[in-house]
Structure 1
Amino acid sequence: MDDLSPSDLKTILHSKRANIFYLEYCRVMQKDGRVLYLTEANKENLYFNIPIANTTVILLGNGTSITQAAMRMLAQAGVLVGFSGGGGTPLYMANNVEHAIEWITPQSEYRPTEYLQGWVSFWFDDGKRLAAGKQIQTARIEYLTQVWQKDKELKQNGFDITAKNIQSALATFHQRNEKANKNSDLLLTEAQLTKTLYKFAANNTKLENFTRQHQGSSKQHTDKANDFLNHGNYLAYGLAACTLWVLGIPHGFAVMHGKTRRGALVFDIADLIKDALVLPWAFICAAENATEQEFRQQILQAFTDHKALDFMFDTVKSIALNNGSDDGAQPL
């Protein structure tokens, strides 16, 4: 069989790609024109194919290594690669970044220009940047409402968008979001809503005394909920980083999380889906005492079912082109 190169494969739009891989205790390599990961079991080597043309992100956890040949093929296919600790969190790397993933992006400058130009056309104006932050927050709530109305499993677990306390919290959120005069107002409004959603989720799943902690120990179900929140958030960061890289928008052009915070725009865009998908499933899986792998499979399926990556692309493109012309814009 002749070797294949990524250029020979049919290109799948990033917004339509189906796979996110989290790997641990394996070696990623190139073999016969394919990217594989190698594991050891019962004194034999097992090879598994990674469909790079249909993959957005690969996250490498504990005990992993990767060859230069594999990285070359991943870069040519436009796959983002990140290094993390066990379970996807935290970062262990020679870079002083706390509670984050260091994404290694393929080095290609042949990316669209209209989205970056549209983004910077408003970014240096404080008022327009605030308006973009409001757009992200509004889109986030619209997506949450859409997902919770549609998803039967979430409804079965008590995540009902029509609940009085949720409707009250959303009404307050919309009022404060609209009246916000500065970035700190947006962040405070976001934090207050998220706190309400945590309480709602904890009550639904009967996880008493829940407190949000970014370092969970998994000794109790409430700690497991924190672990799953961290894990799911990092997967959301991967989707956000992929969206921004494909559209050619640098991570430093944040509209909410601060001009100097590393990768801040990634956190802005990840917020679009975290409350709608990561938050409820983290609590549900913790209440069911699920494993990390079971949670990961569930959340990745939720991303696919509710077209999370498509939603990120559509939202970012809309904001970027809001102050410019969308003539000639192509789907990605």
Structure 2
Amino acid sequence: MDYLHGSDLKAILHSKRANIFYLEHCRVMQKDGRVLYLTEAKKENQYFNIPIANTTVILLGTGTSVTQAAMRMLASAGVLVGFCGGGGTPLFMGAEIEWLTPQSEYRPTEYMQGWMRFWFDDDQRLVAAKSFQQARVDFIRRTWAKDRDLKTEGFNIEALDIIQALHFFERRIPELIKVGDLLLAEAQMTKQLYKVAAINTNYQNFSRNHGESDLANNFLNHGNYLAYGLAACTLWVLGIPHGFAVMHGKTRRGALVFDVADLIKDAIVLPWAFICAKENATEQEFRQQVLQKFTEHKCLDFMFDQVKGIALRNWQAEGGETL
């Protein structure tokens, strides 16, 4: 049997990889040169292959274990591995997923160096945060305009309430002079979008609460953590540490993951959390739907483009005034 070399496993760029896995109640192992996960059934055990060369992230939930040999192969393929609670939440230690990252010394340095050129300047960091928020609004418009499934569910980008929510936030972005004000403004926009989603799906008396047990809140939590997985993978591949946030706070380790995940959360996770809650979907059905939409709308490509664009911008030549 011919075995793949480590370099072959990285042939597919992370931005083009198709798979994110969330596993629970199974054992991840290496067998015959492949990474598998084993589930225990009443009559027999079942093995399922994980195509690691085409996988970006593996989340290990409740009742999982992983062998050293499997971790070695996952590292060779550049797969980001994380431990989490059931259904992808909560983040361990109340802070963030305990990510296990392959220890490669061959990741690019140019993006980290570019990020550092502006990050220590408060004004330029604010400009970067505003750029992320403008890209977030643009992605909502682009995604909702072409997604027929969302249009069928009432998420029409030409609806007056959606136009007003996006336009009001977009108009305020250039005027804000503090990151705190920007955080408040984007929270207000998201709150308006929650209201739109609740009305479209006839979801009564919705209130966003991370600790609530209703389906919409649970699906929002779950989908957000899937987005965090994509964001963490983007930053790891580009070699930018998660602590160098532009919006969510310099003192919060891992905050840049939240900044990058925000690029796609409202466009994909928010509407589908409400739609799947209306249909009383299972957690697995919701997860499959969101992952399908991540792929359909090329979310990972979009995240890479935005982070690379900010990192490689010629801040010094332009004075960091506009993006």
Count of equivalent residues? 316
Cα distance, 1:5 vs structure 2: 4.5
- Of residues 260, 271, 275, the one that matches 1:280 is 271
| Kept after mapping to 2: 8 A contact 1:75/1:107 | yes
**Aligned-pair CA distance for 1:215:** 1.8
Tell me the residue number matched to 1:330: none
How does 1:89-108 map onto structure 2 within 5 Å? 89-92=89-92, 96-98=93-95, 100-108=96-104
Residue 324 of structure 1, CA deviation: 6.1
Structure 1 position 31 matched with structure 2 position 31: yes
> Do the aligned partners of 2:9 and 2:52 also contact (CA within 8 Å) in 1?
no
> Who is 1:19 aligned against?
19
Deviation string, structure 1 residues 27-80 (Cα, Å, up to 9, x no partner): 000111111100111321111110100000000010000001111111111100
Tell me what 2:230 maps to: 239
Counterpart of 1:309 (choices 291, 297, 300) is 300
Q: Return the alpha-carbon distance in structure 1 between the equivalents of residues 74 and 58 of structure 2.
A: 9
Q: Which residues of 2 match residues 183-332 of structure 1 at below 5 A?
A: 183-217=179-213, 223-323=214-314
Is contact 1:233–1:274 with CA below 8 Å preserved after alignment?
Answer: yes
Rounded Cα–Cα distance in structure 1 between residues aligned with 2:3 and 2:12 = 20
Identity %: 74
Q: Secondary structure at the match of 1:37?
A: strand
Q: Which secondary structure state, in structure 2, belongs to the residue aligned with residue 289 of structure 1?
A: coil
Structure 1 residues 71-82: aligned runs within 5 Å: 71-82=71-82
Counterpart CA distance in 1 for 2:16 and 2:244 is 25
TM-score (norm 2): 0.95
1:160 equivalent among 156, 161, 167:
156
SS at match of 1:12: coil
Tell me by how many angstroms 1:9 deviates. Answer: 3.8
Report what 2:177 is aligned to: 181
Q: Secondary structure at the match of 2:280?
A: coil
RMSD, aligned α-carbons = 1.3
Structure-2 separation of matches of 1:65 and 1:18: 23
Gaps of 5+ in 2: 317-323
In structure 2, the residue matched to 1:60 is 60
Measure, in 2, the Cα distance between the counterparts of 1:311 and 1:4. 30
Amino acid at match of 1:137: Q
**Deviation, structure 1 residue 285:** 0.1
Query: Relative to structure 1, is the Cα distance of residues 137 and 8 closer, same or farther in structure 2, using a 3 angstrom cutoff?
Result: closer
1:123 corresponds to 2:111? no
Deviations along 1:57-105, whole A, 9 cap, x unmatched?
000010000001111111111100011111110134xxx334x322111
Matched residue type, 2:157:
I
